[in-house]
């Protein structure tokens, strides 16, 4: 090569306007590289290794699969463990795309502009070691962009609502998207720009960073086939040299939790959650035994068990959710046995729902937050329906039905909930509730849902945890304990005295029930034991 052929003194980058005469071998090689990105990368891309310096990029098996995934998918989303080479693999693919796809615009966007420019610097290094016969001439090369003679270009910028506004983008690359601030706002403003063309591509790569953020939503949607993204996962064991011995050594030098966060592809909560990450990691959501009309029941009502239903009321306009949680307080640990979650139910109708499931669970004590629309539900349930077991914060004033969620009540509830869950005194098994817990984070002097998430079910638990600290709860559980012991003794006496028999039920319906461990069947107006 001649120095005059280089771009602004860089003899490794071919400047625009340089005329080249290709050999027959170069023409064949160009065609082979254009048709096969893996071949091009392994033969012509060089990277800087920490141990060896500048070396040829020899792809691992999973990196070859990842390149193919990028090339064959219009929308691809990648979940990868740390230090798996996902970013450098993506950069190599972008170089191939730039060189062999004319009239294309690529945008690299990251949480920080410096991060995006670092990606562009890697691409520049790769470009500098590609032979001239494979390079289109370069018209512009700086820290923020590269433009080629084939009218393809690549820009690097921080994510923001106006990052690519007014541009026609053919390929959008988002690296470490789970760590982007205001990702949902950015994505909703950017997505229409990219997808306006029928062949445009989006590549998203990241490690996991909690539940509920935009990256998590997109990846979960891809996994369940509910969006257009194709998922790809790089696990720690995919990387050569990583085996169980490596895992044990890594955990020994860090912690199991840190390993899961950085290498296990686990969507854990953020570091400022109310409940510590170790506890959140141990939560296991279960499938409901029965679900209908936004009610999910995980355990059937049991005879002689005491239940508390805590209630949060929304306006029923499709935003926040009206929720309740049913908790068995008969013994420790307390157990979540059912939930309700609906963002369209009217406060005027909600009391009927509460009555139905409260009665089902042995006339559960219903504790309602009476702020705003909650007062309507409290009054309907207590005065109109006359449900027999509603908690009264005060018997003096009309607004005494239910509980007013003051700052003090919330503080006590949050601190008690933290203690109950971290000391395994409260079992939470509902998946909706768990998802809310991992995004229930510190905001100022209090806790609330992280941006774009909900905390209505968590507030059920906060209200329950506050109630646990009250004298009413203590007296309730003490009395119930005494009653339970008495009823158990009575049952033992009756079991010894009562022979096999039948009892008239007064119904025509044939049903099967399971109650308190006893199975009985109604058949033609009788109960058979």
Average pLDDT score over residue span 503-509: 42
CB 434 within 8 A of CB 285: yes
Structure tokens at 98: 């730039």
3-state secondary structure of 102: coil
Distance from C-alpha of 511 to C-alpha of 86, rounded to nearest angstrom? 57
Structure confidence by residue, pLDDT tens digits, 351-371: 999 999 999 999 999 999 998
CB 400 within 8 A of CB 368: no
Question: Burial level of 359, CB count in 10 A (0-12/13-18/19+)?
Answer: middle
The H or E element that residue 368 is part of is strand 365-368
CB 204 within 8 A of CB 215: yes
CB 340 within 8 A of CB 353: yes
pLDDT attached to residue 164:
63
- Which are the catalytic amino acids? 176
Average pLDDT score over residue span 122-148: 93
- Determine if the pTM surpasses 0.95: no
pLDDT attached to residue 491:
60
Structure tokens at 321: 């959710």
> For the chain, how many residues are written?
529
Structure confidence by residue, pLDDT tens digits, 205-221: 999 887 667 888 899 88
Place 143 in a pLDDT band, splitting at 50, 70 and 90: confident
- Domains contained in the chain, CATH given: 3-234 (3.40.50.300), 282-474 (3.30.420.240), 501-529 (no CATH)
Average pLDDT score over residue span 331-339: 96
pLDDT attached to residue 128:
94
CB 179 within 8 A of CB 158: no
CA gyration radius, the chain: 31
pLDDT attached to residue 3:
53
pLDDT attached to residue 29:
95
Mean predicted lDDT score pLDDT of the chain: 85
Average pLDDT score over residue span 366-391: 93
pLDDT attached to residue 519:
41
Average pLDDT score over residue span 121-131: 94
Distance from C-alpha of 81 to C-alpha of 368, rounded to nearest angstrom? 44
Considering the chain, what percentage of its residues have pLDDT values greater than 70? 85
pLDDT at 253 over 80: yes
Instruction: Please name every residue paired with 182 in a beta bridge, in sequence order, or none if there are none.
Output: none
- Which has the minimum average pLDDT: 108-117, 177-186, 514-523? 514-523
Structure confidence by residue, pLDDT tens digits, 257-316: 778 878 988 877 555 789 987 788 788 888 899 999 999 999 999 999 999 999 999 987
pLDDT attached to residue 515:
40
- The DSSP string of 206-262 is E----SSSHHHHHHHHHHTT-SSPEEEEE-GGGSTT--HHHHHHHHHHS-HHHHHHH
CB 308 within 8 A of CB 367: yes
Residues contacting 139, CB < 8 A, separation 6+: 16, 147, 148, 149
- φ/ψ (deg, to 5) at 461: -70, -35
């Amino acid at each position: 090569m001649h120095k005059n052929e280089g771009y602004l003194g860089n003899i490794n980058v071919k400047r625009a306007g340089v005329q080249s005469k290709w050999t027959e071998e170069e023409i064949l090689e160009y065609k082979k590289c254009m048709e096969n990105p893996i071949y091009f990368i392994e033969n012509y891309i060089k990277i800087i290794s920490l141990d060896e310096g500048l070396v040829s990029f020899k792809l691992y098996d999973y990196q070859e699969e990842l390149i193919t995934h990028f090339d064959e998918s219009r929308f691809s989303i990648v979940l990868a463990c740390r230090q798996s080479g996902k970013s450098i693999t993506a950069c190599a693919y972008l170089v191939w795309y730039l060189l062999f796809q004319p009239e294309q615009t690529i945008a690299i966007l990251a949480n920080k502009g410096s991060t995006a420019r670092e990606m562009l610097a890697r691409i520049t290094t790769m470009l500098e070691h590609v032979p001239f016969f494979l390079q289109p001439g370069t018209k512009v090369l700086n820290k923020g962009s590269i433009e080629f003679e084939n009218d393809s270009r690549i820009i690097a910028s921080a994510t923001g609502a106006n990052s690519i506004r007014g541009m026609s983008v053919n390929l959008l690359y988002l690296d470490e998207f789970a760590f982007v601030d205001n990702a949902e706002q950015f994505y909703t403003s950017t997505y229409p720009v990219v997808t306006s063309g029928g062949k445009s591509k989006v590549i998203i790569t990241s490690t996991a960073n909690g539940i509920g953020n935009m990256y998590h939503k997109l990846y979960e949607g891809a996994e369940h086939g509910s969006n257009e993204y194709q998922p790809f996962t790089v696990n720690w064991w995919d990387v050569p040299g990583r085996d169980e011995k490596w895992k044990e050594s890594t955990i020994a030098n860090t912690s199991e939790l840190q390993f899961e966060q950085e290498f296990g592809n686990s969507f854990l909560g953020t570091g400022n959650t109310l409940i510590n990450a170790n506890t959140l990691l141990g939560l296991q959501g279960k499938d409901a035994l029965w679900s209908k009309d936004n009610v999910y029941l995980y355990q059937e009502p049991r005879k002689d068990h005491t239940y508390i239903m805590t209630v949060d009321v929304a306006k029923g306009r499709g935003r926040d959710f009206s929720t309740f949680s049913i908790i068995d307080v008969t013994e420790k640990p307390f157990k979540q046995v059912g939930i309700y979650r609906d963002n369209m139910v009217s406060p005027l109708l909600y009391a009927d729902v509460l009555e139905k499931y409260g009665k089902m669970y042995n006339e559960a004590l219903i504790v309602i937050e009476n702020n705003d629309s909650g007062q309507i539900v409290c009054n309907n349930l207590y005065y109109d329906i006359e449900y027999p077991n509603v908690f009264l914060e005060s018997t003096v004033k009309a607004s005494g039905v239910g509980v007013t969620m003051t700052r003090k009540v919330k503080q006590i509830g949050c601190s008690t909930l933290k203690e109950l869950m971290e000391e395994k005194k409260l079992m939470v098994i509902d998946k909706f509730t768990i998802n809310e817990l991992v995004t229930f984070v510190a905001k100022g002097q209090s806790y609330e849902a992280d941006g774009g998430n909900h905390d209505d079910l968590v507030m059920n638990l906060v209200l329950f945890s506050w109630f646990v600290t009250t004298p009413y709860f203590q007296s309730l559980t003490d009395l119930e304990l005494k009653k339970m012991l008495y009823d158990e003794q009575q049952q033992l006496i009756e079991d010894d005295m009562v022979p096999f028999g039948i009892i008239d039920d007064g119904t025509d319906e044939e049903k099967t029930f399971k109650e308190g461990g006893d199975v009985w069947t109604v058949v033609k107006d009788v109960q058979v034991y």
